């Protein structure tokens, strides 16, 4: 069996790698080629293009329209050359929706794992997904019900973040290696993985760190991002940087400040009290207010269907408000305890076994029916 697999971001690379491992156990002779990252390459994918070249968001995608068009054309050409039995698409909606339509028109079976969040905005795109995707595997419980409105029977497979956390093995002596100060509350700073996210939120995080010298802040930094993005936090006495070790950090953190995204769910599953922050460009925010169809922005609150964690968005994501919420999270008491108790229920809701294994079994089942 030949699979062509496409992930355009860091989290997709991680989840793609776990899916490839699960498929390889079921089909030892399967081969994999596609777009992704280091994790997928280590899992056995012949990498055509690294996601570093693809990670555009918001207006970045508009500004890089011609570059993305070239990548799409190259991807389509490579798919036709490789002649896969199936395409496996992971998140990265703007790119992968187009690839899905292309693959379908060329008679290739399309499997979409972690589809675009069309329930949040541009909901009519669900019709396009129904038309171009043969089988879709969703990772949030409410997504199955959402797609039923479009007569699209999708499979809920559990959440791959749980897979990643189960597979994680804490680093021995991490605290000592990183020279972290356990005499102060340890605050994890998770500013995100995209350039525009960091540009907007890192200065606010730095201001919080400056105004709270009694806390030790640790930045979950990413090596392949330009160091200048972290500059506002660099050199502060109560700030430490760690690289590519977010799960180790969350294992020891007292609380966290997290940019909205997958990291909010990861933080919750490590049972770390958190405040969720998000800032966008002014025009981008105005557009989002008009088109976003959901009540919350964090995965934690969306899955729970109620506010578990505080969300501070745009002007509300000020250093003062973030700092006030952080202090409440660190203080022992009902507020902190109730959040951690809600995390337990969240874990129960998501835990239906390995999402990677569930998805791999379904892909093999559907492919063998052809």
Q: What is the pTM of this model?
A: 0.81
pLDDT at 195 over 80: yes
Structural tokens at position 282: 């002014």
Q: What is the distance between the alpha carbons of residues 128 and 309, in angstroms, rounded to a whole number? A: 33
Provide the pLDDT confidence category of residue 59 given band limits of 50, 70 and 90.
very low
DSSP per position, 197-260: HHHHHHHHHHHHHHH-TTSEEEEEE-TTS-GGGGGGGTT-TTEEEEES-HHHHHHH-SEEEEES
If phi > 0 it is left, if psi is from -120 to 50 it is alpha, else beta; for residue 48 that is alpha
Architecture of the structural domain at 2-158+353-368 = 3-Layer(aba) Sandwich (3.40)
pLDDT at 64: 53
DSSP code string of 314-325: GGG--HHHHHHH
Q: Which CATH number fits domain 174-350: 3.40.50.2000, 3.40.50.970, 3.40.50.1580, 3.30.2420.10?
A: 3.40.50.2000
User: At a CB cut-off of 8 Å and minimum separation 6, what does 121 contact?
Assistant: 288, 291, 292, 293
* pLDDT of res. 182: 82
**Could you report the per-residue pLDDT of 108-117, keeping only the tens digit for each?**
999 999 998 8
- Locate the domains of the chain by residue range: 2-158+353-368, 174-350
pLDDT digits over 11-35, tens only?
A: 899 899 999 999 999 999 999 999 9
- The total of other beta-carbon atoms located within 10 Å of residue 171's CB is 13
Examine the pLDDT at 57 and tell me if it is beyond 70.
no
% of the chain beyond a pLDDT of 70: 92
Whether 301 contacts 311, CB under 8 Å:
yes
Token pair 């030949």: residue: 2
Task: Kindly indicate the confidence band of residue 283, based on its pLDDT and cuts at 50, 70 and 90.
Answer: low
Q: Matching CATH topology for 2-158+353-368 and 174-350?
A: yes
Sorted by sequence, the CB contacts under 8 Å of residue 303 that are 6+ apart come out as 140, 141, 142, 265, 346, 349, 350
3 state SS of 83: coil
- Find where tokens 């995608």 sit: 61
Q: Which of 22-36, 158-172, 271-285 has maximum average pLDDT?
A: 22-36
Average pLDDT over residues 75-94: 95
Measured CA to CA in angstroms, residue 304 lies from 2, 91, 345, 348 at distances of 38, 22, 9, 11
**pLDDT over threshold 90, residue 62:** no
């Amino acid at each position: 069996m030949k699979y062509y697999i496409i992930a355009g971001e860091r989290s997709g690379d991680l989840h793609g790698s776990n899916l490839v491992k699960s498929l390889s156990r079921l089909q030892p002779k399967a081969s994999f080629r596609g777009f992704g990252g280091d994790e997928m390459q280590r899992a056995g994918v012949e990498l055509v293009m690294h996601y570093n070249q693809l990670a555009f968001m918001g207006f970045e995608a508009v500004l890089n329209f011609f570059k993305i068009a070239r990548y799409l054309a190259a991807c389509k050409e490579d798919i036709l050359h490789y002649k896969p039995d199936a395409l496996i698409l992971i998140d990265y909606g703007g790119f992968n929706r187009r690839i899905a339509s292309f693959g379908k028109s060329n008679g290739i079976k399309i499997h979409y794992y972690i589809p675009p969040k069309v329930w949040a905005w541009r909901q009519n795109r669900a019709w396009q997904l129904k038309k171009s995707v043969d089988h879709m595997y969703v990772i949030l419980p409410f997504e199955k019900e959402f797609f039923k409105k479009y007569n699209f029977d999708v499979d809920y497979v559990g959440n791959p973040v749980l897979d990643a956390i189960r597979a994680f093995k804490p680093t021995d002596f991490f605290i000592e290696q990183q020279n972290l100060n356990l005499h102060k509350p340890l605050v994890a700073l998770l500013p995100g993985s995209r350039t525009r996210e960091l540009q907007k939120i890192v200065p606010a995080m730095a201001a919080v760190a400056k105004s709270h010298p009694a806390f030790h802040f640790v930045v979950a930094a990413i090596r392949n991002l330009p160091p200048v993005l972290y500059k506002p936090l660099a050199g502060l006495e109560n700030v430490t940087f760690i690289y590519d070790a977010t799960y180790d950090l969350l294992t020891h953190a007292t609380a966290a400040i997290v940019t909205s995204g997958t990291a909010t769910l990861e933080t919750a599953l490590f049972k770390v009290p958190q405040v969720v922050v998000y800032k966008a460009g002014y025009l981008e925010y105005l557009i989002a207010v008009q088109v976003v169809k959901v009540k919350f922005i964090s995965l934690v609150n969306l899955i729970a269907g109620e506010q578990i964690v505080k969300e501070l968005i745009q002007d509300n994501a000020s250093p003062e408000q973030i700092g006030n919420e952080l202090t409440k999270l660190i203080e022992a008491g009902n507020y902190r305890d109730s959040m951690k108790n809600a995390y337990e229920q969240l874990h129960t809701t998501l835990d239906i076994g390995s999402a990677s294994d569930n998805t791999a079994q379904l892909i093999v089942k559907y492919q063998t029916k052809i």
